[in-house]
Structure 1
Amino acid sequence: MLEWIRFGVTAVLLIGALFVLIMAMLGAYRFKFVLNRMHAAAMGDTLGLLLALGGLAVSAPDLITAIKFILIIVFLWIASPVSSHLIARLEVTLNDHIEDEMEVRVK
Structure 2
Amino acid sequence: MEWIRFIAAAVCISGGVFVMISAAIGVYRFSECLTRMHAAAMGDTLGLGLIILGLIVLFGFSFTTVKLVLVVAFLWTTGPVSSHLIAQMMVEKKKKREEEAKQK
Q: Same fold (TM over 0.5)?
A: yes
Q: Which structure 2 residue ranges, 5 or more long, are not aligned?
A: 99-104
Counterpart position of 1:103: none
Q: CA deviation at 1:92?
A: 2.1
TM score, norm. by length of structure 1 = 0.80
Taking the aligned partners of 1:97 and 1:27, their CA distance within structure 2 comes to 27
Aligned-residue Cα RMSD (Å) equals 1.7
How many residue pairs align between the two structures? 97
The one-character-per-residue Cα deviations of 1:13-44 (angstroms, maximum 9, x if unpaired) are 11001110111111112221111110111111
Aligned to 1:27: 26
Going by fraction, where is helix more abundant, 1 or 2?
Answer: 2
Identical aligned residues as a percent:
52
Alpha-carbon distance between aligned partners in 2 of 1:44 and 1:61, rounded to the nearest angstrom: 25
| Corresponding residue of 1:66 | 65
Q: Where in structure 1 are there 5+ consecutive unaligned residues?
A: 99-107
Query: Which structure's CA Rg is the greater one?
Result: 2
- Describe the superposition over 1:69-92 as per-residue Cα deviations: whole angstroms up to 9, x where unpaired: 122212211111001111111222
